[in-house]
Amino acid sequence: MRLILLGPPGAGKGTQAQHLVANYGIIQLSTGDMLRAAVKAGTPVGRQAADIMARGALVPDEIVVEIVAQRIEQPDARKGFILDGFPRTVPQAQALDRLLAERGLALDAVIELKVDEDALVRRIESRVAAMTARGEPLRDDDSPEVLHRRLAAYRAQTAPLIAYYRRHGTLRTVDGMAPIEEVAAAIAKVVADERKANPAPRVGTPKSKRTAKPPAKPKIGAKTARKARAGAARRAGAARKSARRVRKSAALGPRTRNRRR
């Protein structure tokens, strides 16, 4: 099972990914974790990423895609995975499609957690107020201002993925504003429906072709069939007569044939 969870910051993607990991035995692949692991391991692509990150620049798509490619080939990813934080843009999604196709793989579903952004802002405002009242330290991203910036970045870069995957027929939408357990149940239903619709898809078969039926053989009428059989019989008879003439001519020999002329 290969899934992507889409939704703005605060939609609960991380929480739902943990449910999927626990229920289906698949792994969650975070772009940030994969980058840090590659840097720590000192792989060639990890060293490239480390140099770029040290300069404070964004790691380019080709390096991120290569890190994802190396990660999904590891044994623990064979049963399936959830991609977290990737793809973030349509070009990254296109690169992911090529990457999976080269390995004979395909996405099972892209699940959008649809939420009300205003409600998300109110939620974080309430959380900040409660933490401040209790005297708890706040994280750098625990502020409505930071959330507004992250939501703006999501709308500009990542939201277009919804239309992209809808065109590809892989997008499924659930209500991300429902209680956590209800959201988890809705996602589980999506997974069950996909498995029921495609119980044993061939590896790498595009989703749009998994249930396609082979083209039916053209039907012919009884009259046409009788004519075809009669024509075949006539041709076979003519061939037998021709073969008998050849054999008789060969048996007579050249002199006999000449005298008859």
Q: Which residues are catalytic?
A: 13, 88, 127, 139, 150
In angstroms, the Cα distances linking 22 to 3, 17, 27, 112, 191 are 14, 9, 9, 20, 14
CB 165 within 8 Å of CB 93: yes
Kindly state the tokens that stand for 86: 């990737």
Angle at CA of residue 172, ends 166 and 173, nearest 5°:
110
Kindly state the tokens that stand for 166: 């809808």
Kindly state the tokens that stand for 128: 């900040």
Residue listed under structure tokens 């626990």: 22
Could you tell me which residues are beta bridge partners of residue 109? Answer: 3
Number of Cβ atoms within 10 Å of the Cβ of 78: 11
